[in-house]
Chain A
Amino acid sequence: MSDKVLMKGAEALAEGAIQAGCRYYFGYPITPQNETPEYMSRRLPEVGGRFVQAESEVASINMVYGAACAGVRVMTSSSSPGISLMQEGISYISGSNVPCVVMNAMRGGPGLGNIAPAQADYFQAVKGGGNGDYKRIVLAPSSIQEGVDLFVDAFELADKYRMVVMVIVDGLIGQMMEPVEFKTRIDVSTLKTPEWATVGRHGRDHANIITSLTLDAAGLEQWNLKLQAKYAQVEQAESRIEEYQMDDADYAIIAYGTMARIAKTTVRVARDKGIKLGLLRPITVWPFPAKQMQAYVGKLKGTLTVELAYRQLFEDVQLTLCDKMPLGWYGRGGGVVPGPQEILAAFEEQFGKGR
């Protein structure tokens, strides 16, 4: 039949990155995403790429920084505590205007926490984590197929805007298997080395310098304004949302990633009971699909934000919908994943029977 293959998420996403033209991967072991570096270590040499196991996440992200300066498609992946160690590098890469992709298979925190699925790194991914005024594009797939497809977009967006693109998943997506099809294959020979890359002058009439340092305050402000203009452009053009069963919805659940997938079942169960519930699922959590959500003001009687975290996504929902409608929230932490019925119960508790 089709070209679908049954693959574990963490491996499928790695293959998705390779199909998207990624030829360099630097990483350090951490659960629940070890299948990604393991897969890369087998596959990258087969396609003329390089896999390097670094001595730490700190080294990983700085190796990524080096490769990114050479203008190649490069990525790393890790899980929450490891991503915390990478924040310095992510800030430098952002401040230097070079592209790369970072995947976070989020796990329970804070600290060592556990390895169960979580979404508690939302603020870190979306609002910052490293120093300075910078943004990353943050993509939040809710299925393996979508993750594979989004990896192509991740590298394209990173190159287009010269930005860090984060792909946030969790252990559940990483560990599960489902059929996946690799629809897009980027021919890396068609990817040109950017003119800004530090690859040696080789006859170029000037030296390329990549730095995040500008000692002069006025100069650094100008640099920041350039970054801000770029971020504004990204906000304008790149926000994405899935609107599920929203045509006649009275209420909407707002959730992303794994949580959104589970909430889809809640929507189905609720509709069987006669509740007109829909789902608004941000695919990009930065830029946040605010305009798309604001279009429902006046149409909805309320929303329930559901997340594997404590009021992180909810903060963006509040900023977006303010006092325009009743805003409910339900979340679980520490790696506990609520099922569809639990979410429905939370909805009914906060909004009655939805009639």
Chain B
Amino acid sequence: MAEQMKVIYERPTSWANKVTHYCPGCTHGVAHRLVAELVDEMGLVDKTIGVWPVGCAVLGYDYFNFDSVEAAHGRAPAMATGIKVTNPDNFVFTYQGDGDLASIGMAEIVHAAARGWPITVIFINNGNYGMTGGQMAPTTLLGQKTTTSPLGRTPQANGFPIRVAEMLAQLDGPAYIARVSLDSPVNIRKAKSAMRKAFNAQVRGIGFSLVECLSTCPTNWKLTPVESMERVRKEVMPYFPLGEFKVVEGVL
């Protein structure tokens, strides 16, 4: 009987056997798992270098069995560039939150995308600064209350949210840009498929790739995990539509 049993679910081998520090209902764990599955499936564990951000994923390097470095706040794309040029055959990805990537690190991400060199970016958009306690982020929605926009974000006081995927897709450099959501099984499967394309864009040497992941932050949103998923669908997706914004030829 035993040899007929089929493995349908297991821990990815590139996943270190550790309990994460993420809050219940946070989708960082989902995004991490997708990275680990793809590194496994694409046989990349020996040539991967992860570049981790400052933010909730600051300890991300602890959870994987591949080489990793910890970047300064917002500088992961620059650091990844430095790593990639020394060993172009390696697989180099950054994993960044919205404060890291879209606020302090905006210059680095725009120029990395404009250079178009094959590195991959996993961008977690949860609409606030999670680790520091829920302050307003560049992705915080209008009307959204945070610890630094206590009455809700207004254009007059705080300016408008930034749609990173759409913005970077205007550049000639990127090979693949998509926005996905981690709110439901079907969207997670789609997210994995987008990430696979993003990984492939690098592995095949085509160019820069980025997947923006709509994520949850139940602790700072002050919602339950289930309510958080609903909020993503009802409030976040209308402003940050899902889809592929740039797919150059050869990306699959």
Query: Measuring CB to CB, which residues of chain A are less than 8 angstroms from any residue of chain B?
Result: 24, 26, 50, 52, 54-56, 58-60, 62-70, 72, 74, 88-89, 92, 96, 198-203, 207-213, 215
Contacts and interface: CB of A to CB of B under 8 A. Distances in A.
B227 interface: no
A66 B78 contact: yes
Contacts of A63: 78-79, 81-82, 85
B136 interface: no
Contacts of A211: 52, 61, 68-70
B87 A199 contact: yes
A235 B47 CA distance: 38
B108 to A, nearest CB: 6
A88 B73 CA distance: 10
B46 interface: yes
Contacts of B75: 58-59, 62, 65, 89
B79 A66 contact: yes
B82 A207 contact: no
A70 B51 CA distance: 12
Contacts of B61: 207, 209, 211
Interface of B: 16, 45-49, 51-52, 58-59, 61-62, 64-72, 75, 78-87, 90-91, 107-108, 110-111
A74 B47 contact: no
Which 8 A-B residue pairs are closest in the complex by CB-CB distance?
Answer: A66-B82, A211-B70, A63-B82, A62-B78, A62-B75, A66-B79, A55-B111, A70-B86
B69 A69 contact: yes
Nearest to B73: A88
A207 B64 contact: yes
A203 B61 CA distance: 18
B46 A203 contact: yes
A66 B67 contact: no
Contacts of A96: 69-70
B78 A54 contact: yes
B71 to A, nearest CB: 7
A26 B48 contact: no
A52 B48 CA distance: 22
A89 B82 CA distance: 13
Contacts of A201: 45-47, 65-67
Contacts of A58: 75, 78, 107-108
B65 A200 contact: no
A198 B50 CA distance: 9
Contacts of B91: 200
A129 to B, nearest CB: 14
A178 B68 CA distance: 45
B107 A66 contact: no
A66 B80 contact: yes
B247 to A, nearest CB: 25
Contacts of B71: 62, 65, 92
B85 A52 contact: yes
B67 A89 contact: no
Given A70-B87, A198-B83, A62 B69 contact: no
Contacts of B90: 199-200
Given A64-B82, A200-B49, A202-B47, A55 B108 contact: yes
Nearest to B117: A52
A209 B67 contact: yes
* Chain A CB within 10 Å, residue with most, of B47, B79, B90: B79
Contacts of B68: 198, 207-211
Contacts of A208: 67-68
Interface-central residue, B45, B47, B82, B110, by most chain A CB under 10 Å: B82
A69 B83 CA distance: 7
A213 B58 contact: yes
B81 A56 contact: no
